[in-house]
Amino acid sequence: MRSSRKMDHVQFALQTGQSGNQGLTDVKLVPNCLPDASTESVALFTTIGELNLSSPIVVNAMTGGAHETEEINRELAVAARERGLAMAVGSQMSALRDPMQESSYRIVRQMNPDGLVFANLGSEATVEQASRAVDMLRADALQIHLNVMQELIMPEGDRSFHGMLERVSRIAEGTGVPLIVKEVGFGIPLENARLLKSAGVQILDVGGSGGTNFAAIENVRRKLPLDWLNDWGMKTSVTLIEALQVYERGRVMATGGIRTSEDIVKVLTLGASAAGMAGALLKILRNEGTQALIDHIDELHHGIVLMMTALGAVRIEQLWTRPVIITGSTAEWCRARRID
């Protein structure tokens, strides 16, 4: 059941697409006609908490478990290795319950022995399960995903969410690797960010709306003639701005509808340390293959270097000091939430 659902998610993520509005057209970069920079002087390395990344692009959590997902994870890992990207696997809970499924996750470490690999579980995990998930991959960090609405809209999904914060807090203390708490496409509001910070969570991945949409995926999967809850959640632009009211720069990454190098530069300029990409990379891999994915990552890197040069920022932290204008519904949201 879970295995076929995982392949459904892959298929329907491709079908429902990546055309949503993640709010980044509301974010305008102010040009710099006198940049003290050259393309050679730009460096793309970045840090998120204690993690040192050679690129601000992270291949975010997608899959593992079902047989076909092993091939996807292998090819994503090859692309991540070839271009030095950190990569997260999809939720490992199914492999903790059924060790036969472990190979579809372990393949990521096998393909990329020296790269940054992130383990992934939901907030139902115990400290012991979290440690096993990390050990399975010799992972450099652990992602815990929060996906309440995704669970609620799946008929077979969880219905009870008591004690999430306490479990997250125990995991933050107990696993020995940096903990990243992420949403899967509905965003993390600042009230929740405050609670997560006080629970000891060092890194947030805001996972806003505007990209992969699990409400839309579920409506298609169940052939519902509805757009029910397709509009749920916070756009990536606003959830990133909210998280940065609580978490200092250097501890927040942004995911959700990141498709272009311009999207990446915008979230970095807003204050993110890295940009997670899931659906857009999966689409290229499935439709065009591994080499096309590697070529696409090259194009993204090239675009980031070009824009950083034009903005006169030779390090990612320097983007944080560049002026940025927030317009449209993102500005309206910030006003309504009294965020300057």
Which residue numbers belong to the known binding site for Mg(2+)? 151
Let me know if 254 is exposed, middle or buried by CB neighbors in 10 A (0-12, 13-18, 19+).
Answer: buried
Min. distance of Cβ 151 from ligand FNR in angstroms? 12
The answer to whether residue 207 forms part of the interface with ligand FNR (CB under 6 A) is yes
Query: Which of positions 37-96 make contact with ligand FNR (CB under 6 A)?
Result: 60-63, 90-91
The answer to whether residue 326 forms part of the interface with ligand FNR (CB under 6 A) is no
The answer to whether residue 178 forms part of the interface with ligand FNR (CB under 6 A) is no
Beta carbon nearer to ligand FNR, 144 or 190: 144
How many of the other CB atoms lie within 10 Å of CB of 324? Answer: 14
DSSP 44-60: --EEETTEEESSSEEE-
Beta carbon nearer to ligand FNR, 157 or 312: 157
Sequence letter at residue 24:
L
The residue within the footprint of ligand FNR, chosen from 56, 115, 187, 211 (CB under 6 A), is 211
Round to whole Å and give the CA distance between 171 and 201. Answer: 9
Tell me the residue ranges of DSSP E strands in 38-184: 46-48, 51-53, 57-59, 86-88, 117-122, 141-146, 179-183
The answer to whether residue 120 forms part of the interface with ligand FNR (CB under 6 A) is yes
Min. distance of Cβ 316 from ligand FNR in angstroms? 19
Contacts of residue 265, defined as CB under 8 A and 6 or more positions apart, other chains included, come to 29, 303, 304, 307, 308, 311, 319
x-or-dash string of contact with ligand FNR, 134-153, rule CB under 6 A: ---------x-x--------
The answer to whether residue 129 forms part of the interface with ligand FNR (CB under 6 A) is no
The answer to whether residue 277 forms part of the interface with ligand FNR (CB under 6 A) is yes
Residue 252: helix, strand or coil by DSSP? strand
290: which 2 tokens? Answer: 């591994």
Min. distance of Cβ 311 from ligand FNR in angstroms? 24
Task: Give the residue among 240, 299, 298, 292 at the shortest CA–CA distance from 271.
Answer: 240
The answer to whether residue 238 forms part of the interface with ligand FNR (CB under 6 A) is no
Min. distance of Cβ 332 from ligand FNR in angstroms? 22
DSSP 8-class letter at 247: S
Interacting residues with ligand FNR (CB under 6 A): 9-10, 13, 60-63, 90-91, 120, 143, 145, 182, 184-185, 207, 211-212, 255-258, 277-280, 282
